[in-house]
Structure formats: structure tokens, C-alpha cells
């Protein structure tokens, strides 16, 4: 097991190296007007160095004066020694900005995952146990509809119905206008109130996939021989489903849920942007369209690590949870 994990880890490191090489090469090929803009702005400050001097200094600072590969190696060295540079867009160290915005995204992701699990898994199981019934069709179609739902359209609908027509929630933002006058408990409630619509959005758009996944796996298990045996020996249907079948369905579920744990940190671009919540999705989007290379590189590396970590966790869990799996 230990050997297996080490092998997977090493592979992940190699993949990370190449992924970031591609990403770095892509970003280096973009027009680097942002550096020129900064250099021009700085050179116009009173008593400043000339534009060319600033440009050279900035290029040296960001490793832009080297070739792509050499620049990449120096970036990698800086990344692994924790020097993430300074965000051009926000003019603060990347890591500070990241620390500032990541937690709201994480909490949103965590709450979403909680609701996702308690809604999607039971519905998927119900659909599987009543295959070809009206309930099954309804749940299946709903799941597909949720998958097909364009996030931005759904958010606009929610804002129209619940913010504009009914007036229950504020359309954007994380805090109300009198937030600062409230005591800390009510401030917390205020934030919760503002999080309702974003969480609803995230839950709705994510439960479809898990619902279908649960249903497919449950169906597979229900068709297995040991279920037929259990029924044959007269075990009650309830016990067959919730004791024998469900436990076996849990294997793929645990794998996939475990694998998606790192993505709690990845943020939600559309939801955060449209609800104007200052999370990692919104911040990274702002940086990407502004051509903020240090932050974008950091964010992309972070995302790549999350993906690799997710795969790794899923693989390991698969081996750990299912006793039938033997690692070669």
C-alpha cells in the first residue's frame, strides 16, 4: 500500500511538472502588455527610473527575461520555496490575497457538499429501487435537467424570483447594508441569509451528477447475485436495500466524494461572480481577465494540485474501502 501511494505521488509530481510547463508556456506567449503598463506607470512617478530600467527590472523580477524553459524552472523553484510573488491586479502578495478570499469559497463548498450528499444520495437510491416507476422517471429527468442547467441562467432566474419579485434576499453581496451595526450573532445570521441563494445554486447544479451516479451504481448492485440470494432467503426488502445493497453502493460513492474533497477549495466562478461574493472564483476571474500573471499562475498551479490530489484520494480510497480490490 505504501509503495502504491509513493508511486502515485511520484507520478502526480511528474504530471504536475508537465501541466505547469504547458500553462507557463501558454501564459508566456500572451502579449505581456501588463508589465509594460506597470513599467510605464512607475517611470512616470516623480524622480523615478526610466521606463526601460523599470521594464528590465520587472522582467528580471518575474523571470520574463529568460527563455521559456529557464523561466519555468525558476518559477517552479520560487513556487516550491513559497515565493508566490505579488499580485499585479491587487498589488498585495499573492498568498495574502489568496488567504483573504479562499475561506468563504471553502465554507460555501463545504455547506454545498453537505446538502448535496443528503439530497442526492437518498434520491438516487429511491430512483434505483423503484426503477421504471414515475418517481424514477421524475428523478432521472430532474437530474438531467440540473446537469443541463446553465449556471448563469439559473442564477439570473433565482435573482429575478427571490430578490426582485419576492424580495426575500439581496440580489448580490455577502453582507447587508446595516451589517456593521449588528452584534456578532446577527452579523453571522446576516451572512447566512446572503449565502442562501448561492448555496441553493451550487447545490442544484451539483446534485444531478451525484444523483445519477448513485442510481447507476445502486442498480448495478441490485442486479448482483448476492442481492438475489438475500431476497431468496427471505430477508425483508427494507433490509436488502438499506443493509446489503446500500453498503455496497457506498464503495463507489465514498471514492467519488473523497476524490471531490480537494475541489471544495476550487471556488465557483459563475456563482461568486454573479452574486459578487469575494471568493477565490471571483478573485481569480478578475485576475485572469486583467492579465495578472503571478496570481493566475498561482491559481492554476493550485487547481492542478487540487485535481491531482482528488485523483490520488479517489484511487487510495478505492483500494482502502473495497476489500475486493488488490493492488498489484
User: Is residue 171 within the footprint of another protein (CB under 8 A)?
Assistant: yes
CB atoms within 10 A of CB 32: 17
User: Is residue 211 within the footprint of another protein (CB under 8 A)?
Assistant: no
Q: Which is nearer to another protein, 27 or 38 (CB)?
A: 27
Inter-residue contact 215 to 140 (CB < 8 Å)? yes
Between residue 299 and residue 328, which ones bind another protein under the rule CB under 8 A? 299-300, 303-304, 307-308
Runs of H (alpha helix) within the chain: 2-29, 33-43, 51-61, 68-80, 94-129, 134-148, 151-158, 184-222, 225-232, 237-239, 246-259, 269-274, 280-289, 293-321
Beta bridge partners of 307: none
| Window of 81-89, 111-119, 134-142, 183-191 that interacts with another protein by CB under 8 A | 134-142
Contacts (Cβ under 8 Å, ≥6 apart) of 54: 38, 39, 40, 42, 43, 48
> In Å, how far are 97, 112, 125, 264, 291 from 279, measured between CA atoms?
10, 15, 34, 12, 18
| Window of 74-82, 155-163, 177-185, 317-325 that interacts with another protein by CB under 8 A | 155-163
In 3-state terms, what secondary structure has residue 39? helix
Exactly one of 289, 320, 325, 327 binds another protein (CB under 8 A); which one?
289
- Shortest approach of another protein to residue 234 CB, angstroms? 25
Q: Which is nearer to another protein, 36 or 322 (CB)?
A: 36
For the residues of 86-153, what is the DSSP string, one character each? B-TTT-SBHHHHHHHHHHHHHHHHHHHHHHHHHHHHHHHHHHHHTTTSHHHHHHHHHHHHHHH--HHH
Cell output for 72: 519555468
Positive or negative CA dihedral for 36, 39, 41, 43? negative
Q: Which is nearer to another protein, 1 or 164 (CB)?
A: 164
User: Is residue 84 within the footprint of another protein (CB under 8 A)?
Assistant: no
| Window of 73-81, 139-147, 194-202, 230-238 that interacts with another protein by CB under 8 A | 139-147
- Shortest approach of another protein to residue 171 CB, angstroms? 7
User: Is residue 22 within the footprint of another protein (CB under 8 A)?
Assistant: yes
d(CA 35, CA 38): 5
- Shortest approach of another protein to residue 202 CB, angstroms? 15
Nearest-5° Cα angle at 77, 310 to 68? 95
d(CA 8, CA 16): 12
Q: Which is nearer to another protein, 249 or 284 (CB)?
A: 284
- Shortest approach of another protein to residue 310 CB, angstroms? 10
| Window of 59-67, 119-127, 137-145, 188-196 that interacts with another protein by CB under 8 A | 137-145
User: Is residue 144 within the footprint of another protein (CB under 8 A)?
Assistant: yes
Exactly one of 4, 9, 25, 33 binds another protein (CB under 8 A); which one?
33
Q: Which is nearer to another protein, 32 or 187 (CB)?
A: 32
Residues in the site for another protein, rule: CB under 8 A?
11, 14-16, 18-19, 22-23, 26-27, 30-31, 33, 132, 137, 140-141, 144-145, 147-153, 156-157, 159-160, 164, 171, 269-270, 284-285, 288-291, 296, 299-300, 303-304, 307-308
Amino acid at each position: 500500500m505504501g509503495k502504491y501511494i509513493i508511486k502515485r505521488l511520484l507520478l502526480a509530481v511528474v504530471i504536475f511538472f508537465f501541466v505547469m510547463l504547458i500553462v507557463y508556456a501558454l501564459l508566456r506567449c500572451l502579449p505581456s502588455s501588463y508589465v509594460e503598463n506597470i513599467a510605464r506607470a512607475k517611470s512616470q512617478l516623480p524622480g523615478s527610473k526610466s521606463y526601460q530600467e523599470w521594464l528590465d527590472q520587472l522582467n528580471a523580477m518575474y523571470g520574463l527575461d529568460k527563455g521559456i524553459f529557464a523561466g519555468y524552472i525558476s518559477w517552479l523553484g520560487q513556487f516550491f520555496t513559497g515565493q508566490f510573488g505579488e499580485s499585479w491586479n491587487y498589488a498585495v502578495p499573492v498568498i495574502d490575497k489568496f488567504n483573504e478570499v479562499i475561506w468563504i469559497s471553502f465554507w460555501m463548498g463545504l455547506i454545498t457538499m453537505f446538502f448535496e450528499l443528503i439530497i442526492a444520495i437518498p434520491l438516487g437510491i429511491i430512483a434505483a429501487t423503484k426503477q421504471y416507476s414515475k418517481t424514477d422517471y421524475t428523478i432521472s429527468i430532474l437530474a438531467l435537467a440540473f446537469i443541463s442547467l446553465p449556471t448563469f441562467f439559473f442564477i439570473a432566474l433565482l435573482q429575478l424570483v427571490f430578490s426582485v419579485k419576492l424580495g426575500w434576499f439581496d440580489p448580490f453581496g455577502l453582507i447587508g447594508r446595516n451589517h456593521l451595526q449588528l452584534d456578532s450573532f446577527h452579523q453571522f445570521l446576516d451572512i447566512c441569509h446572503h449565502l442562501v441563494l448561492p448555496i441553493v445554486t451550487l447545490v442544484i447544479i451539483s446534485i444531478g451528477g451525484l444523483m445519477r451516479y448513485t442510481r447507476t451504481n445502486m442498480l448495478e448492485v441490485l442486479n448482483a447475485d448476492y442481492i438475489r440470494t438475500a431476497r431468496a432467503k427471505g430477508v425483508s426488502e427494507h433490509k436488502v436495500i438499506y443493509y446489503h445493497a446500500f453498503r455496497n453502493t457506498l464503495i463507489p460513492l465514498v471514492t467519488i466524494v473523497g476524490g471531490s474533497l480537494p475541489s471544495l477549495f476550487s471556488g465557483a466562478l459563475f456563482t461568486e461572480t454573479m452574486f459578487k461574493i469575494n471568493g477565490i472564483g471571483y478573485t481569480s476571474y478578475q485576475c485572469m481577465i486583467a492579465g495578472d500573471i503571478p496570481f493566475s499562475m498561482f491559481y492554476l498551479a493550485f487547481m492542478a494540485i487540487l485535481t491531482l490530489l482528488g485523483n490520488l484520494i479517489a484511487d487510495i480510497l478505492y483500494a482502502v474501502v473495497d476489500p475486493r480490490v488488490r493492488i498489484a
